[in-house]
Structure 1
Amino acid sequence: MAVLAVIDYGMGNLRSVVNALSRVAPAGDRIVVTSSPQAVLSADRIVFPGQGAARDCMHEIAAHELTEVVKTVAGQRPFLGICMGMQVLLEHSEENGGIQLLGLFPGTVRYFGVSPRDSRTGERLKIPHMGWNQVRQARAHPLWSGIPDLSRFYFVHSYYAAPADPGIVAGTAEYGIDFCAALACDNIFAIQCHPEKSAEAGLRLLHNFARWNGEPQTT
């Protein structure tokens, strides 16, 4: 029986994440929602969700004494970052003049802009980017198993991750620009959308994560 820890640092709608995981996790696995550093460190798989402002997220991660814990488990076992839980893995954010993030990967979290425009029609796009969008799979990964390329996922965000290394980009989406919608490196997979709100494709991604051994390629 595996233990899957959903990290609770007060910055996410965890109920929908837990409900979705409960539907797809292997029978007998245990899903725990926890802010306990020890519980996170002892879990077999880690889900790191988040929403809201980067400054608030970083403050709450530190206040719950989870900063080093997140860095530790992200280097050791299957780890899934969702939305802000993806963005804070980078070095810094443009939000509020600049926010230092966890720095697991070089790169910046950038603002879409005051008035981005559709690259095809020139029409002004609304910020935040909210709603369904196709995700183009940049490379094969076990978490994409059974998910057709260009499947639609649900997004809510005003900023996007821009990793310095294009080699870790696992998926892209388009909203005025092509942006990194998913990144993957070793045992870490992180995605900008909300898989728990993304119907069949999102459930399949969570299903795959709940069975993933942390290897970046299917053997």
Structure 2
Amino acid sequence: MSRLKALVLSGLMLCLSGCSLGGPPFPYDSWYLGLFAPNYMEVWIETADAVDVKDRVFRRAMSGIAAINTPKELKGNPRGWPQEPGAGAGKHVLGADLPRLLYVRWQSLAEPQTYEAYIVISEATRKVMLVGEKAYCRADGKWITDYRKMLSVGLAPGGVARVWLMGPCLPALDVARVQGTVVKIGPDGGQSGGQYALPLKPESKAYIERYGIPYGSW
């Protein structure tokens, strides 16, 4: 049995147990939504909305600058995704049940282009979010029962969105990849006259001018 299937089975058993006991929808206060971009490929998030399993909409659960590294002297590598992505810049989605759908609209400042993507969070992923695992936290040197309660969304040029599920002390699981579409009216719903939110940082601009954008690597 694969690791993911085992986690899904454990999550189902926990869910059934919790339902029969009238317990909370999940064993933690809230889940986290974070977003990041590959090195130098800067992103401005117009909105990241969440819909939970009760069909409640949490608009602008996150907005603003996506997490990114821009190493000096062009020593960073934006190609592909990191083996262990970080949580990304984000917020806890307070008051939400488990997520069913994410909607992200973002400005890919590297191109520049505006994209949107609808990301379905599968039932299997939600079940994994209920599974507690023993984990060693290096930050404080303690063993804890940890949960994968963090959704990290990577946003890349060309409109690619990739999603990982992770815990503070648990490794990430790759759970979704979505191809977004171009927002034809442009940035800010067409209200900015085609102007993008921010200029590129000098390091990002220099990298793209020298090496271009590695489309197809994400």
Q: TM-score of the superposition, structure 1-length normalised?
A: 0.24
**Structure (1/2) with the larger helix percentage:** 1
Q: Which has the higher strand share?
A: 2
Higher-Rg member (1/2): 2
